[in-house]
């Protein structure tokens, strides 16, 4: 039975929900388990392309309050968990009509903040005509030269030279080279036809050629309206809730003061709400790699802000507190406001981190496939960052599958920590990926953290478990916390706390 999806609209405040469930006959469970994708009341526009998700039937959660009747239902295919563009078009029109007719107030005034123009994509979709071309070391290095001993900018120059040589040799236009990387990957991003890519694969200077892919975030599993709306009005200028310590922070040993730590936490994600009163964001060190819509490091999605708060929300009187309380978090924006990005954007972020982070710094990457696929370039990028003494925490993934088949979660080297998820009863989270590469299990169900516009939100996923690990790595490393129940065979049963 393919999963079924319903769009639900209620007012006031106007909320548009997409609810997916694998088994329509079990719809009685839906009232307690919708997925809130977009909330007009919070200034997010409901656009057809926002209704991209029928993602993940396992990730379902509770929504308090009465909902209107289902305006319609729609079957989406099990293979894609995604609506097709022509379906989105009419669905979007229906939702907009319902939203307007059920709402007595004016259209949201913050509509212009949602400037996302990334196309509708599925996790794993190939980016047409876009290829990652990595060079062999000997093709980049000059005779007798130790590439690793060179500076990042020197390596960039050498890669650029190798790329120029390659384009001339194969009569490609110089404009075919879109991005040059020097450290995380010694290679370039190129616009190529399939035939050209096939030819480059045969070139002796080329280590590998792989087509770029789109990645999309898993859905947010909002645990309750009260939490979801625990936000001040006016983008952080309103009243903040009194500080509470999320269960996961207590679980891993409590917050550690990191306000004067020299360790920086690089958050490779959807950006960060840079003026959130409960976060210490270094905007200046941040970078945006999203090529559509706004070109700032500001989070238009929420995911990156949530991750940042679990790593290091401040220990003050408001909101929440993170594991490494008050640590400097740096936004590396690789996902658009709709939560999608090309993996080449992530590689650019890792290249920047490899060149600019210090040994001992930490990285969180709660981004990855929703079904089995791998990218050598992404795995290489993570490995090369870790080889600099930078600690990288990776979400294992939410497919309830073996992460050995997922990039970059499968990377299993020193300084890389693949993090699976458990709940507050120290039991395995059923959605979590498992397998040999998993290093620790961390809190990932009902995790409260910082959100857009100076707010807070409670969501679930290995995306939320990984930043607990990142905070632990930032304050001295992992200690054995105990044993998690219900862990799939072949996976560590150990959850991690800080030393
Ligand atoms: Ca706080
Ligand atoms: Ca590992």
Q: What CATH number has the domain bearing residue 251?
A: 3.40.50.200
Mean pLDDT within 492-496: 98
pLDDT tens profile 381-394: 999 999 999 999 99
Mean pLDDT within 219-243: 54
Same domain, 337 and 390: yes
Higher pLDDT, 49 or 468: 468
Mean pLDDT within 342-347: 98
Distance 236 CA to ligand 1 centre (A): 13
CA 125 to chain centre: 16
Distance 237 CA to ligand 1 centre (A): 15
Closest listed ligand to the CA of 276: 1
Domain range for 57: 4-113
- In 3D space, the residue among 29, 38, 28 whose CA is nearest the CA of residue 8 turns out to be 38
pLDDT tens profile 90-123: 444 444 343 333 322 222 222 233 456 667 788 9
Distance 251 CA to ligand 1 centre (A): 17
**Greatest Cα-to-Cα distance within the chain, rounded to the nearest angstrom:** 73
Closest listed ligand to the CA of 494: 2
pLDDT of residue 148: 87
pLDDT of residue 57: 29
Distance 450 CA to ligand 1 centre (A): 9
Split at pLDDT 50, 70, 90, the class of 280 is very high
pLDDT of residue 217 exceeding 50, the answer is yes
Same domain, 84 and 161: no
Q: Which of 195, 215, 235 is the last residue of a domain?
A: 215
Same domain, 343 and 230: yes
Distance 448 CA to ligand 1 centre (A): 12
Angstrom distances, CA of residue 89 to CA of 95, 241, 358, 360 = 10, 39, 47, 48
Distance 265 CA to ligand 2 centre (A): 20
Distance 202 CA to ligand 1 centre (A): 55
Closest listed ligand to the CA of 393: 2
Mean pLDDT within 314-328: 98
- 120 lies in some domain: no
Same domain, 67 and 95: yes
Distance 413 CA to ligand 2 centre (A): 6
Q: Which of 89, 113, 137 is the last residue of a domain?
A: 113
- 375 lies in some domain: yes
Q: Are 249 and 321 in contact (CB under 8 A)?
A: yes
Distance 274 CA to ligand 2 centre (A): 31
Mean pLDDT within 116-145: 88
Burial of 408 (0-12, 13-18, 19+ CB in 10 A): buried
Distance 156 CA to ligand 2 centre (A): 30
Same domain, 345 and 436: yes
Taking only Cα atoms into account, the Rg of the chain, rounded to an integer number of angstroms, comes to 22
The order of strands in the sheet holding 15-21 is 35-38, 15-21, 4-10, 72-75
Q: Which of 66, 85, 113 is the last residue of a domain?
A: 113
- Report how far residue 294's alpha carbon sits from residue 297's, in angstroms, rounded to the nearest whole number: 9
- 131 lies in some domain: yes
Same domain, 239 and 159: no
- Report how far residue 68's alpha carbon sits from residue 48's, in angstroms, rounded to the nearest whole number: 20
pLDDT of residue 240: 95
Q: Which of 39, 116, 227, 269 is catalytic?
A: 269
pLDDT of residue 214 exceeding 60, the answer is yes
Same domain, 93 and 179: no
Same domain, 262 and 408: yes
pLDDT of residue 258 exceeding 90, the answer is yes
Tokens 């790593």, residue? 311
- 118 lies in some domain: no
User: DSSP letter at 88?
Assistant: H
Distance 474 CA to ligand 1 centre (A): 18
Same domain, 468 and 340: yes
Distance 293 CA to ligand 2 centre (A): 35
Higher pLDDT, 61 or 155: 155
- 485 lies in some domain: yes
Which residues keep their CB under 5 angstroms from ion ligand 2? 412, 418, 437, 439
Same domain, 169 and 275: no
- 338 lies in some domain: yes
Strand bridging mode 328-333 / 287-288: parallel
pLDDT of residue 493: 98
Mean pLDDT check: name the lowest of 76-80, 250-254, 266-270, 323-327.
76-80
Mean pLDDT check: name the lowest of 25-39, 190-204, 246-260, 316-330.
25-39
pLDDT tens profile 412-465: 999 999 999 999 999 999 999 999 999 999 999 999 999 999 999 999 999 999
Phi, psi angles (nearest 5°) of residue 92: -60, -40
Distance 414 CA to ligand 2 centre (A): 8
Q: Which of 303, 306, 468, 498 is catalytic?
A: 303
Closest listed ligand to the CA of 318: 1
Same domain, 489 and 356: yes
Other CB atoms within 10 A of residue 202 CB = 8
Report the domain count for the chain: 3
pLDDT of residue 157 exceeding 90, the answer is yes
Split at pLDDT 50, 70, 90, the class of 49 is very low
Percent of the chain past pLDDT 90, that is, above it, reads 68
Tokens 């559509």, residue? 292
Same domain, 259 and 374: yes
Q: What is the CATH number of the domain that holds 162?
A: 3.30.70.80
Strand bridging mode 391-395 / 362-365: parallel
Q: Which of 337, 346, 453, 463 is catalytic?
A: 463
- 119 lies in some domain: no
Which residues keep their CB under 5 angstroms from ion ligand 1? 243, 278, 314, 316, 319, 321
Distance 417 CA to ligand 2 centre (A): 5
Tell me whether residue 269 is one of the annotated catalytic residues: yes
pLDDT of residue 238: 67
pLDDT of residue 471 exceeding 50, the answer is yes
pLDDT of residue 330 exceeding 70, the answer is yes
Split at pLDDT 50, 70, 90, the class of 143 is confident
User: DSSP letter at 68?
Assistant: P
- 34 lies in some domain: yes
Tell me whether residue 463 is one of the annotated catalytic residues: yes
Give the DSSP letter string of 12-67.
TTTEEEEEEES-GGGGGGGGG--EEEE-GGGT----GGG------TT------S--
Q: What is the average pLDDT score of the chain?
A: 79
């Amino acid at each position: 039975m393919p999963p079924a999806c319903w769009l639900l609209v209620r007012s006031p405040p106007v909320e548009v929900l997409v609810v997916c469930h694998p088994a329509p006959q079990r719809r009685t469970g839906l009232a307690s388990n919708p997925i809130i994708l977009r909330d007009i009341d919070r200034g997010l526009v409901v656009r057809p392309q926002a209704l991209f998700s029928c993602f993940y039937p396992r990730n379902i959660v509770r929504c308090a309050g009465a909902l209107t009747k289902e305006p319609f239902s729609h079957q989406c295919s099990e293979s894609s968990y995604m609506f097709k563009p022509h379906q989105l078009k009419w669905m979007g029109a229906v939702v907009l009509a319902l939203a307007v007719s059920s709402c007595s107030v004016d259209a949201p005034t913050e509509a212009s903040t949602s400037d996302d123009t990334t196309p509708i994509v599925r996790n794993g979709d190939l980016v047409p005509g876009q290829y990652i071309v990595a060079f062999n070391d000997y093709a980049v290095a000059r005779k007798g030269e130790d590439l690793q001993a060179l500076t990042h900018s020197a390596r960039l120059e050498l890669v650029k030279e190798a790329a120029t040589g390659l384009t001339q040799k194969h009569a490609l236009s110089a404009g075919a080279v879109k991005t040059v990387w020097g450290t995380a990957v010694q290679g370039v991003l190129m616009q190529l036809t399939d035939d050209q890519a096939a030819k480059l694969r045969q070139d002796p200077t080329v280590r590998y050629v792989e087509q770029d892919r789109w990645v999309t975030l898993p859905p947010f599993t909002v645990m309750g309206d009260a939490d979801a709306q625990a936000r001040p009005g006016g983008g952080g200028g309103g009243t903040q809730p009194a500080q509470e310590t999320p269960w996961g922070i207590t679980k891993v040993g409590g917050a550690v003061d990191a306000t004067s730590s020299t360790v920086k936490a690089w958050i490779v994600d959807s950006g960060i709400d840079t003026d959130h009163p409960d976060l210490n964001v270094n905007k200046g060190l941040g970078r945006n790699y999203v090529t559509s819509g706004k070109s700032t490091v500001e989070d238009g999605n929420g995911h990156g802000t949530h991750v940042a708060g679990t790593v290091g929300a401040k220990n003050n009187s408001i909101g929440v507190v993170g594991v490494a309380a008050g640590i400097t978090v740096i936004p590396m924006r690789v996902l658009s406001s709709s939560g999608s990005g090309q993996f080449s954007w992530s590689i650019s972020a890792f290249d920047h981190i490899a060149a600019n982070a210090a040994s001992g710094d930490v990285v969180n990457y709660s981004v990855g496939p929703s079904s089995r696929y791998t990218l050598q370039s992404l795995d290489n990028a993570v490995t090369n960052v870790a080889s600099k003494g930078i600690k990288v925490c990776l979400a294992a993934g939410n497919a309830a599958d073996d992460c050995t088949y997922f990039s970059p979660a499968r990377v299993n080297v020193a300084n890389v920590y693949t993090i699976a998820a458990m709940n507050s009863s120290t039991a395995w989270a059923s959605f979590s990926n498992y397998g040999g590469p998993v290093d620790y299990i961390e809190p990932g169900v009902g995790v409260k953290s910082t959100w857009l516009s100076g707010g807070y939100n409670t969501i679930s996923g290995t995306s939320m478990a990984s930043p607990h690990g990142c905070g632990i790595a930032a304050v001295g490393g992992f200690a054995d916390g105990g044993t998690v129940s219900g862990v799939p065979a072949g996976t560590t049963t150990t959850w991690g706390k800080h030393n």
